[in-house]
Amino acid sequence: MTERDSVGAASPTQTWHIIKKLEGQCEIVPSEQITEDNQEINNPEITEKWGPFASQGDAIRP
């Protein structure tokens, strides 16, 4: 496993979203975690979403 793999940069088609939860904490999650097929998209704990981003690094760059 490469260092890049260890931080979650999976396949070239993998994209990422930032989600903000009610308590104010943000997380970077794989896009498939918040798709309509996954119940996380309807989670009332998620107050905001940004993305998609091509990588986790892109998601945290200003």
- Domain containing 40 equals 14-60
The reply to whether 34 falls in a domain is: yes
The reply to whether 7 falls in a domain is: no
The reply to whether 49 falls in a domain is: yes
pLDDT digits (tens, 9 = 90+) for 1-57: 334 444 555 556 899 999 999 999 999 999 888 876 666 667 888 899 999 999 999
The reply to whether 4 falls in a domain is: no
The reply to whether 55 falls in a domain is: yes
CA distances from 21 to 25, 32, 33, 48, 49 (A): 6, 17, 14, 7, 9
The reply to whether 2 falls in a domain is: no
**Each residue of 15-31: b (16+ CB within 10 Å) or e?**
bbbbbeeeeeeeebbbe
Q: How many domains are contained in the chain?
A: 1
Does this model's pTM top 0.75? My answer is: no
